[in-house]
Chain A
Amino acid sequence: MKMSKIVELLNAKVLCGEELLENEVHSACGSDMMSDVLAYVKDQAVLLTGLVNLQVVRTAAMMDMLCIVFVRGKIPSDDIIEFARDNGMVVLASEERMYPACGKLYANGLVGGALHA
């Protein structure tokens, strides 16, 4: 799925990485617990979260993720967006809650990907 499709499906605002939206991503995960993202996620390119702090973007960077979607209308602060931009990530913000946001992406073919080895 192109990241521009995520923007469309979730009616999301693009906070940074506009120029990367035509790149493809193949799997996603949703969590507010960064400990679990670090422990259970493998090769998922998109992180949906309702947690807003710098650790979210650092965690995503450590995991080589390409896109963060802040759900529930959360808007990250400028330092979060700046970090994401420096690390070549797309940041989106959607009014959707976590469950429908994940469901819409999944139903349109963005799967959960492999379990952690």
Chain B
Amino acid sequence: MSVPLKFHYDVHGEDFTSAGNASVQAKKALRQLGYDPNIIRRVSIAMYEGEINMVIHADGGSADIIVYPDYIEIVLADKGPGIPDVSKAMQEGFSTAPDNIRSLGFGAGMGLPNMKKHTDDMKIDTVIGEGTTITMRVNT
């Protein structure tokens, strides 16, 4: 059995202006692999939303893209505060982002629902005080 192709990115939390760098890199990598633009866009949007969330809420983390024969997996892991109420966080419009983030154009409470919308499967593992891992799958 062949080993799936994996791309690893560190998401730096200290500076909001760099948020999204990993997603830009991942998008380029997937484009080089020749995926359909719609598939690439879905992965890019889901990863970018997640990356922004990690920078806003968790001081960064890591992002992995794993390419399997019939799907792409996106794993976003952080050591942030965890999500106290996942079902609430999944509601459109619910946001705990601070005002300075809103002035930068984010924090509308659309991130998690949008990640779910653009992926075929999404799993949230979160432990208060320890961190959150979100695993998403886009079928190819």
Contacts and interface: CB of A to CB of B under 8 A. Distances in A.
Main secondary structure of the interface of A (DSSP, over half): helix
A43 to B, nearest CB: 9
Contacts, number: 68
Interface stretch (B3-11, B20-28, B59-67, B121-129): B20-28
B104 A53 contact: yes
B108 A53 contact: no
Nearest to A31: B105
Contacts of A114: none
A62 B23 contact: yes
A58 B105 contact: no
Contacts of B106: 33-35, 55
B110 A59 contact: no
Contact of A62 (B27, B105, B110, B113): B27
Interface in A50-67: 51, 53-56, 58-59, 61-64
B48 A62 contact: yes
A39 B108 contact: yes
Interface size classification for chain A: 10 to 19
Interface residues of B, number: 27
Nearest to B101: A35
Which of A32, A34, A38, A59 gathers most chain B CB within 10 Å?
A38
A83 to B, nearest CB: 8
Contacts of A51: 104-105
B37 interface: yes
A44 to B, nearest CB: 12
A64 B41 contact: yes
A55 B106 CA distance: 9
Contacts of A8: none
Given A55-B105, A64-B41, A38 B27 contact: no
Interface of B: 16-20, 23-24, 27, 37, 41, 44-45, 48-49, 52, 92, 104-111, 113-114, 117
Interface of A: 32-36, 38-39, 51, 53-56, 58-59, 61-64, 87
5 contacts: A35-B108, A35-B109, A53-B17, A54-B18, A59-B48
The 10 closest A-B pairs by CB, nearest first: A35-B108, A34-B105, A39-B110, A58-B20, A62-B44, A39-B114, A35-B110, A51-B105, A62-B48, A35-B106
